């Protein structure tokens, strides 16, 4: 049986292996985990109804729990680097956190969305497709491709977002149209009142590096 050959420390093979390991370690060390902040963020749902005097309604959560794990040069790096454009991103919004200012409406919405079985609305990012040019700075624009899970039904969508790093924090702003029927939810009906099928979700998400 042949004894495995260990590259000499001065050989090109050893040097290449050492550089590869060093770069891999450096890339890992430079990743930064950002977490949604308890203040400064909001997510809003806007919808319609058949009531002439109340044909529009909205509900808002003032907290957007979640995280993004990105490289140290994000979001600028995501304009040209395919790996940087796929940060590990997840959002988990408690349904109960959405408030309309009307406790009866809040209760009806929670029941309609089966809150005891599906207490959260969840989002997972797949990738960012840059729409800002390479080399741009400041508030950068992307098309975010991801999955949105409502009442246990997951649908892939694409929405425009703006991402900016300022004062050490990330700020992500975006909006997306959502059809309740796509997630298996019929428009809510009560007596002669019914809601429309389409919603508009808008968000302003502030994240800061995870405390060490």
Domain at 114, CATH number: 2.40.128.110
- In a domain? residue 25: no
C-beta separation of 48 from 56 below 8 A? yes
Return the pLDDT at 186. Answer: 81
Contacts of 212 (CB under 8 A, 6+ apart): none
- The first and second tokens of residue 197, run together, are 């099928």
- In a domain? residue 44: yes
Residue 148, beta-bridge partner list:
123, 155
- In a domain? residue 159: yes
Return the pLDDT at 201. Answer: 95
Return the pLDDT at 25. Answer: 42
- In a domain? residue 134: yes
- The first and second tokens of residue 192, run together, are 């002669």
- In a domain? residue 10: no
Residue 175 and residue 88: Cα distance in Å, rounded? 20
Return the pLDDT at 137. Answer: 95
Return the pLDDT at 27. Answer: 44
Residues 7-22: b if buried by 16+ CB within 10 A, e if exposed: eeeeeeeeeeeeeeee
What range does the domain containing 68 cover?
Answer: 32-209
- In a domain? residue 78: yes
C-beta separation of 89 from 73 below 8 A? no
Number of domains comprising the chain: 1
pTM: 0.81
- In a domain? residue 118: yes
pLDDT in tens, the chain (212 residues): 555 555 555 555 555 555 444 444 444 447 999 999 988 999 999 988 766 556 688 899 999 999 999 999 999 999 999 999 999 999 999 999 999 888 988 898 898 889 999 999 999 999 999 999 999 999 999 999 999 999 999 999 999 999 999 999 999 999 999 998 999 888 766 555 677 788 899 999 999 998 77
- In a domain? residue 3: no
CA contacts within 13 A on the Cβ side of 167: 3
């Amino acid at each position: 049986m042949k004894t495995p050959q260990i590259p000499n420390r001065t050989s090109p093979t050893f040097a290449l292996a050492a550089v590869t390991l060093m770069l891999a370690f450096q890339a890992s060390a430079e990743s930064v985990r950002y977490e949604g902040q308890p203040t400064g963020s909001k997510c809003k749902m806007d919808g319609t109804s058949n009531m002439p005097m109340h044909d529009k309604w909205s509900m808002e959560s003032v907290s957007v729990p979640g995280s993004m794990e990105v490289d140290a040069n994000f979001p600028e790096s995501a304009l040209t680097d395919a790996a940087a454009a796929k940060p590990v991103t997840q959002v988990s919004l408690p349904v109960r956190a959405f408030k309309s200012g009307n406790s009866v409406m809040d209760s009806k919405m929670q029941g309609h969305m089966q809150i005891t079985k599906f207490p959260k609305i969840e989002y997972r990012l797949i990738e960012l497709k840059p729409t800002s040019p390479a080399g741009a700075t400041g508030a950068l624009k992307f098309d975010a491709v991801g999955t949105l899970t409502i009442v246990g039904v997951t649908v892939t969508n694409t929405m425009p977002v703006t991402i900016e790093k300022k004062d050490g924090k990330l700020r992500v702003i975006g909006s997306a149209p959502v059809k309740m029927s796509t997630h298996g939810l019929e428009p809510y009906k009560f007596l002669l009142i019914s809601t429309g099928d389409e919603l508009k979700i808008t968000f302003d998400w502030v994240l800061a590096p995870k405390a060490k």
